[in-house]
Amino acid sequence: MTEPNSPTERVFALLRHVSEGGSTANLSELARATGINRVTAMRLLEDLEAAGMLERQESGGHRIGLAFLKLAGHSLGSVDLTSLGRRCLRALSNRLQLTAYLVVLDGNECLYLMRSVPATPLVSNIAVGSRVPAHWVAPGRVLLGGHTEPDLRALLGTEPLPTVSDQTPSSYDALTALLAEESAQGTAWSSGAYEAGVDACAAVVNGHDGRPVAALSVAGPTAQLTDRRDEIERAVADEATDLSTMLSG
């Protein structure tokens, strides 16, 4: 790739690379991807990190920083959830090479509103527009996490709650205990509970008033996700926080 001509172009090339899920951990690969030589790339990364435009990740490399997100949120203002969500889905899918979903709560069901698929074989069969009882799946449960038990009863109906597997809570005692555990953790997992052999991880997205408006979720084969749980949780939580920040701008 030809090196960007001006300092401004180089900064934007780096920010674009990171925002699309690209890694900065290896300077040689970064130079090939952006066209910026290694020394310049290293200096710009340090400058952008110092300004809060990028944040260093524990696993190596960088992610978009809070200062950048606040600036983008203020500028975008009225841009809706789907426009912002599409960007976060693409970044999340590229980062993890997993199918990523944007999910919203509609009554007692969660609606799979958008999907981003990496250049790998599709594993999850959940299509855009699918509706699933919210307590069956990880993104639905993170959206239920802020509800009180009376609210849950009004929303989901009488016991026993419908189940799809032996992992699905069928009582409010079991459901509230699970929601409390997942809320404390910050993410929710579904391990082959809705789709056999497919695991999913989700985190909640909050709107400008701090209330849940959506969930980000990724799904992939159980055998490939088992040893990546910490990495996946961090990535999903990061993107959910980023989207929440932009929506609150």
pLDDT in tens, 79-121: 578 788 888 999 999 999 999 999 998 889 998 988 998 877 6
pLDDT in tens, 203-224: 999 988 888 989 999 999 998 8
Give CA–CA dist 89/236, Å, rounded.
10
The mean-pLDDT minimum among 35-44, 54-63, 233-242 falls in 54-63
Same domain, 140 and 222: yes
**Kind of pairing between the strands at 99-106 and 62-64:** unpaired
End-to-end alpha carbon distance in the chain: 35
- The larger pLDDT score, comparing residue 188 to residue 20, is at 188
Beta-bridge partner residues of 112 = 103
Q: Report the pLDDT value the prediction gives residue 249, as an integer from 0 to 100.
A: 65
Same domain, 144 and 60: no
- The larger pLDDT score, comparing residue 207 to residue 136, is at 136
Is 80 exceeded by the pLDDT of residue 3?
A: no
User: Residue 234: pLDDT band by 50, 70, 90 thresholds?
Assistant: very high
Same domain, 113 and 31: no
Give CA–CA dist 173/33, Å, rounded.
51
Structure tokens at 183: 């809320």
- Mean pLDDT, residues 193-210: 89
Same domain, 99 and 205: yes
**Cα distances (angstroms) measured from residue 212 to each of 103, 104, 143, 172:** 11, 9, 6, 21
CB atoms within 10 A of CB 123: 18
Amino acid identity of 115?
R
Structure tokens at 106: 């509609």
Compute the half-sphere exposure of residue 41: CA atoms within 13 Å on the CB side of its CA.
Answer: 25
Strand, helix or coil for residue 37: coil
Is 70 exceeded by the pLDDT of residue 2?
A: no
Same domain, 24 and 103: no
Burial of 175 (0-12, 13-18, 19+ CB in 10 A): buried
Question: Does the residue 230 lie in any domain?
Answer: yes
The whole domain housing 38 covers: 7-64
Of 64, 88, 106, the one marking the end of a domain is 64
Question: Is there a cis peptide before residue 160, judged by omega within 30 degrees of 0?
Answer: yes
- Across the chain, mean pLDDT equals 87
Same domain, 80 and 156: yes
Strand, helix or coil for residue 110: strand
Q: By percentage, how much of the chain surpasses pLDDT 70?
A: 92
Strand, helix or coil for residue 191: strand
Give CA–CA dist 57/72, Å, rounded.
21
Residue 40's domain is classified under what CATH number? Answer: 1.10.10.10
Are 226 and 201 in contact by the 8 Å Cβ rule? The answer is no
Who contacts 233 (Cβ-Cβ below 8 Å, separation ≥6)? 186, 187, 201
Question: Does the residue 211 lie in any domain?
Answer: yes
- Mean pLDDT, residues 129-147: 93
pTM assigned to the model: 0.70
Of 44, 64, 84, the one marking the end of a domain is 64
Who contacts 184 (Cβ-Cβ below 8 Å, separation ≥6)? none
How far from chain centre, in Å, is Cα 195? 20
DSSP 8-class letter at 119: S
User: Residue 78: pLDDT band by 50, 70, 90 thresholds?
Assistant: very low
- Mean pLDDT, residues 35-57: 89
